[in-house]
Structure 1
Amino acid sequence: MNIDDLYRDLHEHPELSFEETRTAAIAATELRTAGFDVIEHIGVTGVVGVLRNGDGPTVLLRADMDALPVDEDTGLAYASTVPGVMHACGHDVHVACLVGAAHELAATRTEWSGTIVALFQPAEEVGNGAQSMLDDGLYERVPLPDVVLGQHVGPAPAGMLGAHSGAAFASADSLDITVRGRGGHGSRPETTIDPIVVAAAIVGRLQTIISREVAPQEVAVVTVGRLNSGTKNNIIPESAELGLSVRAYSEEVRARLLSSIERIAGGEAAASGAPEPAIEFAESFPVTVNDPVATERTMGAFRSAFGEQAVLDPGQVSGSEDVGLLATAANAPLVYWILGGVHPETYLAAASAGTVDSDIPSNHSPKFAPAIQPTLARGVAALVTAAREWLQ
């Protein structure tokens, strides 16, 4: 099993959330080859392998599998062969690394004792893949872990590893607000309740949540990414739709943001004599919290294995993850770290020129293309090192 070739194959054949049948089948085959007991179709397409090796802790290693609806623009020889679908977030890296780690841990089982749970999760990108596995009885089918470990490739130098203790990844909520009015002719606005005016007022007032309701030392984001309404210039429509993205680093701030959005939307509608707006959640991710003690222990193992210079604290990441649900449901500590994926010389040149943001494609970019090596080798080694630390 060559993980470089596996990675190229996965990158060429991306699959969207809950459609990861090919990827899941590959993961299941590799786990069985390594000697794991395998359970398939947990939470639709999820795969879990269990390797019992005597008494000791149970360690869960997680990789997500889904791709994104993005047209690839990398020019790679192994670019996506699926129109409009791409591994633009690096989940192909995660799968390849976990497959490699599973094989290595199985091959060295005389050197450790305990149980490995290798989990390949669907649908991280839509925020409910982990929950779907839990709802499908994940922990009734596999041993309850003593720790949950995982990694996410990102635009940092390949070979670098790092985790932020505490709130590490932001919560993320996508909301759709439908403002309802009363339509009519554009020449007689007095006979209507214009939902566009109400929606515009909501957009303006939402900006005050961050500037007037969130303390300066707290971090939060409220973005209106979509406002749709109307069909013709001289028609006042019946409704308007807003699409919001909301992020925070604590559940208390998150709850306050969502409450304020509901209050403002309802208040502006009432001020215009419009009906109560309809608010629906499209996606929802909790705050990802790394256990401080477990994180320091794991990063200490990385420093011993790879050197002080290879381990950093990336700070709080504004992206979001659902891996924390796997730890919370098991009442186990989580350690989730960043795996650098940019060739070191490329990153250094961009850093020296001050052009990292413009020259180094980030996750979800159509140009996102992690360097195969040393990224994969370090990713496998990181998973193995972290697992061995907890299995000692």
Structure 2
Amino acid sequence: MKTPYTKQILIYILIFFSITFTSASMESGYYFLIPFLEAAGAEVGTLGGLVMGACYGVSLVLRPLVPFFERLAGKERVIRAGYFCFFISACGIALFARTAEGVILCRAIAGVGMGVVTIILQSYEYQLLPAGVRGRCVSLITVAYSLPALIVVPPMEYLIRSGHYNMYAATFPFIAALGLYTVMKLPKTGGSAAPAKSAPEEKVSYLWLLRSPQVLFFALSAALFAFTDAGQLRFVQLAGERGPAASYFFSVSACTAMIFRLSCGKLVDKLPRKVCAPASTLLTAGMMFAAAFASSPRAFMLCGFIFGLGMGFGYPAFMCLTLDIGGRRSAVTTLAVVFGFIYSLQSFVCPIFLQQVINIAGSVTWAYRAMYGTVILLAAVIVYFSPRVYRDL
């Protein structure tokens, strides 16, 4: 029988899930921005990396300032303003942006939203979700990251391939409006922590984090994982060279990650996150590497399936590691900023760096093989040292 307390937690999960889903839907749908611009007659050229990475670059710069904005204006105002930036950006692309420079500007505005929404949402999760079930709750919420690749990406790819470019662009303001409505439903926290034994509040600085070997090791491990995730930003171009539609990879990956998180969410609480989180990078990097050799829909689907397993466990495990290492509420918020900063950095750097590797290698295929072959080797080293570095967790 569900108690009022359990019902309240389920409501929180539903709200967090909805906000995450709409944010992820816009990001996944915009994977096709470069084909959209090319169809509009715009010359993308070397600006392709910025078209895909501008949002993450602005987010990268803004994230360290989020705790300051939170203290100044409060969670509610900051996250609402952030999501309004998503809406303005989507309207700008739908109505006006038909050049690479115009899209870059609109995506930069979206970066303001991304810079605050993820961090503030994690802070809400820490305050409102009990520590004893936080792992499985986060697993359920992060299903929303995978779901758009299953139900949003295929229709978006169809619209682009069918020449319905205006309809493609016009979809995103409606998604952003739905997310903004859901943000308005977030409860007022009033500064109360999650139902758990709490330690006295203590301010934690970025300097303290830099002095912690565990935090530095976590940052390196998370950076490799985020780099494999960011490989999806240019995957449409890889698929164009290899032959099969990108949706074969995206849809199977998303479906696998979603099923894993729904049915195996408890594993995030039971398995040793300190080893399994970095080990998931081996799976995701390995499948990015393998996809560069695939040339059939079945091969893309197999790569997507294994990639989805890695993402299904890895992302919620890394999110929970921020809570494990942070411990205190102020440390969790600061470490969440670091995790978000790393993710934004990789999402900004990866498309631009990949463009340079493509210029050197002469093809997207060889660029993926070189980059993710290297990531596999680095991830293996991280996995080997993880038990020693995280021995007291």
TM-score scaled by length of structure 1: 0.23
Say which one has the larger Rg: 1
- If each structure's strand is expressed as a fraction of its own residues, which one has the higher value? 1
TM-score scaled by length of structure 2: 0.23
